[in-house]
Structure 1
Amino acid sequence: MAVRPYWKGYLKLSLVTCPVQMMPATSDEEKVRFHTLNRATQNRVISHYVDAVTGHEVKEDDQVKGYQRAEDEYVMLEDDELENVALDSTKTIDISTFAPRDSVEWIWFDTPYFLSPNDPVGQEAFSVIREAMEAKRVVGISRLVISRRERAVLLEPRGKGIILWTLRYGDEVRDEKAYFEDIGNEKADSDMMPLVQQLIEKKTQDWNPKIVVDPVQDRLLDIINARKKQLKKPQKGKAKSPASEPSNVINIMDALRKSVAAETRPRK
């Protein structure tokens, strides 16, 4: 089933413009989702907005966005005011800046999207922009309105298309020095290093998406399927004895040697 475009507009570099479309690069549609039900009737429970003081329900036409400026004081903004904040970047990705790909650190990357031509006529212009960036090993920086918020975005050539990343805002990224500066400068033990490297070598494999499967998701599906088929009735099981907590006092070298031996031992 084809994915509907999340956004349609134009990619622009100076006087070169082409129609493009954007699709989410990731999906959570396969995740198990639950509705809140009334246990007695099994009907869905619907939420309503109510006035925090009067307790009365507020109709949709009476709801308005408000920015708090002081206690119990708000600046109200209408929908048309919010929609007109950044009109230039609602339909056009105008690349204003280029930067070396390696100069943008991973922590700034937020959500990925696939960007592709939306019209056969514009494929040539799209290809020129993509291949020029790839040849120069740079990424494009622009701005785009997504969900009523203008976001800085990064465009990275990838195969025949372009990956568009939304970038985090400056106040969202914390300085790593505040968290790493208290780590000591102690050097790694030279006797332990070969053992750790041997462990790493034994556990190294090519990337496979199955490495990051969600076991909780699978268990939820098993429970749901069991309930749907009504194959088994709930049975009272014996209470499991609490697992003994591992001791924090261990010999690192012994643990490493045992780990290496376990990884080296032929598996049945």
Structure 2
Amino acid sequence: MAPRPFWKGYLKLSLVNCPVALTPAITEDKKLRFHILNRDTGNRVVSRFIDEGSGEPVEDENKATGYERGADDYVLLEEDELDAVSLESARTIDIETFTPGSSVGWIWRDRPYYLTPDDPVGEEAFCVIRDAMKSARVVGISRLVLFRRERAVMLEPRDNGLVLWTLRYGDEVRGAEEFFANIEDGECDPKLLDLVSTLIKVRSEAWSPAMAADPIRDRLLGVIDSKKKHRPPPRVKAKETEAQPKNVIDIMEALRKSIAREKSEGDRR
């Protein structure tokens, strides 16, 4: 069963609008979560906000939002002041701009959500906007309030729907130039390129979600299951200290040996 949408509102393009629903495209339901316990009592440990100066707990009604402007000097912001600077409507995705999809680099994309029609009557408007964007190979840029934060978002046509990506803020993204500027940009030895290309072909296979599996989670679940059944947990082989790779002097010979080993392992599978 598909999860229920967590946000409902309107998709708007000029005078055209339609009801839409937003559902997270990723889930953390399978993520292992642990609690901190008191070993003596078995009770959970509860965290509380403590006044740094007095050491006393701070009640919810006394918590305030502050911006540090100097040492131990803060500007307090009230809830209504925070609300006043947000979008006029937190329930409308008003597409302000279109831009080529290829121009928005991967690094700007934060979290994906599925955007779908939420009303049969408005579905036609949704589909017209989606198909026009597909035809023009563009994505839409808008703004949206999620979790009380205003975010720039990108709408990307995908299959029969739209994927809404929250975008990172401009000051969150570091430019690659300062990191990559000193890496050589010269032409590589064609023979070495051929050997690496062969190695790539040997190791290539179709994408599968299994490639992004979490083996540590599976091992932890095995330990937890054994403890629930009051059995000794499965023995985990001690991890050997990983030796530091040495600089390869003869790249050609290393690549030839790598290809031979990969083909040999492939024959055994």
TM-score normalised per structure 1:
0.93
Partner of 1:131: 131
Instruction: Give the superposition deviation at 1:84.
Output: 3.2
Preserved contact between residue 143 and residue 153 of structure 1 (Cα < 8 Å): yes
Partner of 1:267: 268
Preserved contact between residue 143 and residue 150 of structure 1 (Cα < 8 Å): yes
1:166-185 to 2 correspondences below 5 Å: 166-185=166-185
Preserved contact between residue 156 and residue 162 of structure 1 (Cα < 8 Å): yes
**1:24-82 alpha-carbon deviations (Å, 9 max, x no partner):** 00011101110000000110000010110011111000001111111111111122322
1:26-105 to 2 correspondences below 5 Å: 26-105=26-105
Provide closer, same or farther for how the CA distance between residues 231 and 66 of structure 1 changes in structure 2, counting only shifts above 3 A.
same
Partner of 1:160: 160
Provide closer, same or farther for how the CA distance between residues 240 and 167 of structure 1 changes in structure 2, counting only shifts above 3 A.
closer
Partner of 2:113: 113
Instruction: Give the superposition deviation at 1:233.
Output: 6.7
Provide closer, same or farther for how the CA distance between residues 59 and 173 of structure 1 changes in structure 2, counting only shifts above 3 A.
same
**1:166-201 alpha-carbon deviations (Å, 9 max, x no partner):** 111110111111000111234322221111110001
Partner of 1:252: 251
Gaps of 5+ in 2: none
SS in 2 for 1:88: coil
Provide closer, same or farther for how the CA distance between residues 91 and 233 of structure 1 changes in structure 2, counting only shifts above 3 A.
closer
Provide closer, same or farther for how the CA distance between residues 193 and 77 of structure 1 changes in structure 2, counting only shifts above 3 A.
same
Gaps of 5+ in 1: none
CA distance in 2: counterparts of 1:240 and 1:192, whole angstroms: 34
1:17-28 to 2 correspondences below 5 Å: 17-28=17-28
CA distance in 1: counterparts of 2:50 and 2:39, whole angstroms: 23
SS in 2 for 1:191: helix
Provide closer, same or farther for how the CA distance between residues 131 and 234 of structure 1 changes in structure 2, counting only shifts above 3 A.
closer
SS in 1 for 2:121: helix
**1:181-222 alpha-carbon deviations (Å, 9 max, x no partner):** 111234322221111110001111111111110111111111
Instruction: Give the superposition deviation at 1:128.
Output: 1.2
Report the aligned-residue RMSD. 2.0
Instruction: Give the superposition deviation at 1:250.
Output: 4.6
